[in-house]
Amino acid sequence: MLNLLTKRAKTLHIGPANFCWFTDPSRALCLKLAGTPTADQPLVGMCDSARCPQATHHPCHRPVWAEHAARTKTFLGDLGKTRNTERSRLQNDYDRALRVVAEIDAATLHQPDEESA
């Protein structure tokens, strides 16, 4: 069991907004975006965890995503009417942050009660 856990732990990269399970470099969105599909580690600074199939979000990540959504909403409210390109980009970012928060909340609600386990 320890050997299995050790092997799996080597693929886990912990970030403030997600956990990256870097098991298959060819599936890592960060490496595809950087044009380095054969790298042996993820590029955490380029992580788009809302789109990467190897990233997972957990309740401990919710505050980061909720704060990001709140700040993005503030920026959206401050944009002038002529800033259509910026508004579109920020709206997509805001929608993505809200989706991640909603998915974290939904997963949290469906977890079995630890006391009854």
Q: What is the pLDDT of residues 39-89, one digit of tens each?
A: 888 988 888 899 999 999 999 999 999 999 999 999 999 998 899 999 999
Contact 12, 44 (CB under 8 A): no
User: Who wins on pLDDT, 51 or 1?
Assistant: 51
For the chain, give percent helix, strand, coil, nearest 5.
60, 5, 35
pLDDT of residue 114 exceeding 60, the answer is no
Provide the pLDDT confidence category of residue 112 given band limits of 50, 70 and 90.
Answer: low
Structure tokens at 98: 């809200």
pLDDT of residue 7 exceeding 80, the answer is no
| pLDDT at residue 111, rounded to an integer | 65
pLDDT of residue 113 exceeding 80, the answer is no
Reported pTM: 0.78
Rounded to whole angstroms, how far apart are CA atoms 49 and 13?
Answer: 12
Closest of 57, 69, 59, 68 to residue 15, by C-alpha? 57
The helix (H) or strand (E) run that includes residue 102 is helix 84-109
| pLDDT at residue 4, rounded to an integer | 78
Structure tokens at 7: 């092997």
| pLDDT at residue 28, rounded to an integer | 92
Largest CA-CA distance found in the chain, in angstroms, rounded: 59
Beta bridge partners of 13: 20
| pLDDT at residue 117, rounded to an integer | 44
